[in-house]
Structure formats: C-alpha cells, structure tokens
Amino acid sequence: MTLTETLINSIDKQGMQKLLRGFYRQIEEGVEISKSFPKLYSANQVTSIVLSGLGGSAIGGDLVRSYIADEIKVPFLINRNYTLPKFVDSNTLVIISSYSGNTEETIASYKEAKKRKAKILCITSGGEVLNFANKQKDPVILIPGGLPPRAALGYSFFPLLFALGKMGFINVKKKDVAETISLLKLNSSIYGNIASDKNIALQLASMLKNSLPIIFSSSDKFDVVNLRWRGQINENAKMMAYGNVFPELNHNEIVGWESIPQIMQQSSIFILRDEEDNSRIQSRMDITQNILQPFAGNVTEVFSEGSSLLARIFSLIHLGDWVSFYLAMMHKVDPTPVTKIDYLKSELSKIQ
C-alpha cells in the first residue's frame, strides 16, 4: 500500500499526526508550566519518592525516574497499582499522576497515601484527582487536557523534571532541554514527510507491517523507551509487541528462539542502541544479533541521536511514536481511539 496525505487524513480522523508534528511545542509548553509551580516541598524532607499512575500517565514519571537515576539520592519507585508499598509514610513524596484525573487505580492509591500522611504532589488536567486535591489543599501541577494520555508525554515528563529540580532533588540541565526541543523539531519535519528518503520512521514501520515487533534495549536508561515503543505500537497500531532488556535476555530468551521457526520467522527484532550503553552491553548486543539473525525475520539496529542523554532518550521516543503511527496507517486503523480500554473502564464502572 502506498501512503498518501489524502489516505492518511482519511484514516487519522482524530489528528494523531498533528500531535506528533507538534510534540516539540508541547515540551516548550511543559517548560513554561514549570515557571508557575505551586509551593512545593524540600528534598531534605523526603526519604523516598513514589509516583502512582497507569499507562500514558505513568510513562512520563517512569522516564524521569530512569533519566535521573544516576543523580537522585533517594529511592524513586513507579507504582502502577491500586495500593502503595508498605514503606510509604510521612517522609515519602507520593506523586499522583493521572492525565484525566479519573484513573481509578491512581485515585485509590491517592486516598491511601493520605491515610499514610504522605507528602502529595498531583499532576493532572482535572477530574476527580483535581477536585480531591483542591479539597485536601495538596499542590497540583495543572496541565492542559483534551489529549490521549499517551500523546501528552511532554506535559507529564518536563513539568515533573523541573519540579524535582525546584525541590532540590536534581539539577535540571536547561541546555539539554533546549537541544531536545531543537532535535525533535527537526526530526518531526522529516518523519512527517512521507516523500522523504530520510524518513526512517516510515522505513521501520514498513519492516514491521506484517510481523511481530520485538524490541530489545539496555536495562538502565532505555528500558522505559523500550516500554514506550511497545505501548505505542499496542495503542496506536492495534498490534501486539514484545520486548526485553540486556543483559537479562541473554540468560534465558536467546535459547527460546530455537523452536517453532514458523513463528520466529514472523518476528522482527529492533535493538535500540545508544552510544553510552555499557561496553559489555554493547558487546552482548553485537553477539546476540549474530545468534538470532538466522531465527528472526530480520534484526535491525536503531540508534539514538543527539549529544545529551535527554535528547538521545527523546530521539528514540519520538521515532517510536512515528513508527507506531505509520503502522496504524498501513493497517488502516485510526491511531487515536482505544475502544477496548474504554469498554473495560465502562464495565468496571458497573462493579462497586
């Protein structure tokens, strides 16, 4: 199938492409939001951080956690559940992240955090979370609403990053943020051009169209990028996607490719790579590629771009978002609606 702008517009009825083209502007807005924060806590009051959220509302916090892991001096956990870990107490900063403000698991953990007398910071666009926070007089980072949560990553990542900086947990490198914005602005002009021979997003999507995507990456800074790729392929393209990380996959998964060759040959492995991956991890990636090449349909390396870690992380995120978009176009499915998730929420709402 040959993609044309007319065909894309007929499939993408709710405008996901427009959101991808303007993602760098969302980062700029996220930076602006950080200039008008409510009164926040001080890092010396906090011994641990827990961010509660699900799906698109969790991924921003998970990326922050991964990005700052080498700098932050207190444990930082992502909680994708109704309940909180036992250690949460009055010295814990619990970040309630719900884009809609109505995520039932997050609301449940919010109420539990209040019972534990934890310090609360909310990131939301409204809903029950905002109403409850206002009643409790908890600080809120209010972000623009009306988007699919997975398409609001700039709002969920950058205000949180700057909030942690303001509280004294980290130092935000503003020049790295500026580089990230510039790089994504450039890349969006390339990835959004279906006629460009430099459009690697379209090329990668073509490789994945009729196969099972399997995403590999390192486990330290790019594990969440790996998760993002899979989630975006799931929700935007309505396709299954699987992933694993180095070095763990070298201790089990590489053996599992030997059987059921008719299925393995329908798989496409993408190895997400970064120039600062641990040298031993890079060697593992090279050797693993040679081991799995005969079994998989194809094995492709996908490299990050940029100078700073932040830019390199977001270069791969933005690329993956565009790959999932083009996969949706190739399968003629509107990337925005997630009807099965909506149905599940509707059915759950009937159960008290």
Residues 210 and 266 in one domain: yes
The question of whether 331 is a catalytic residue gets the answer: no
Q: Is 32 a catalytic residue?
A: no
pLDDT 10s per residue in the chain (352 long)?
Answer: 789 999 999 999 999 999 999 999 999 999 999 998 888 999 999 999 999 999 999 999 999 999 999 999 999 999 999 999 999 999 999 999 999 999 999 999 999 999 999 999 999 999 999 999 999 999 999 999 999 999 999 999 999 999 999 999 999 999 999 999 999 999 999 999 999 999 999 999 999 999 999 999 999 899 999 999 999 999 999 999 999 999 999 999 999 999 999 999 999 999 999 999 999 999 999 999 999 999 999 999 999 999 999 999 999 999 999 999 999 999 999 999 999 999 999 999 999 7
Cβ atoms 152, 16 nearer than 8 A = no
From the list 73, 86, 251, 350, the catalytic residue is: 251
Among 310, 326, 123, 316, which residue's Cα sits nearest to residue 228? 316
- The CATH number of whichever domain residue 116 belongs to comes to 3.40.50.10490
| pLDDT at residue 352, rounded to an integer | 78
Residue 111 lies in a domain: yes
> What's the rounded Cα separation, in Å, for the pair 156 and 105?
18
* pLDDT for the residue numbered 345: 93
Structural domain includes residue 350: no
Domain that holds residue 203: 198-330
**Is 235 annotated in the active site?**
yes
pLDDT for res 115: 98
* 225 shares its domain with 300: yes
Separation CA 292–CA 169 (nearest Å): 42
Residues 162 and 203 in one domain: no
37 exposed, middle or buried (CB, 10 Å; 0-12, 13-18, 19+)? middle
Q: Let me know whether 208 and 307 are in one domain.
A: yes
Residues 75 and 151 grouped into a single domain = yes
Q: What is the pLDDT of residue 323?
A: 99
Q: Which helix (H) or strand (E) holds 244?
A: strand 242-246
Count the domains in the chain.
Answer: 2
Phi, psi of 98 (to 5 degrees): -140, 110
CA–CA–CA angle 151, 331, 272 (5° rounding): 55
Do 120 and 239 share a domain, yes or no? no
- Do 93 and 139 belong to one domain? yes
Which residue in 179, 235, 238, 318 is the catalytic one?
235
- Report if residue 236 sits inside a domain: yes
Would you state the pLDDT for residue 37? 86
- Residue 279 within any structural domain of the chain: yes
β-strand partners of 273: 303
Entry pTM: 0.97
Determine the Cα–Cα distance for residues 325 and 12; give it in Å rounded to an integer: 9
Residue 146 domain-assigned? yes
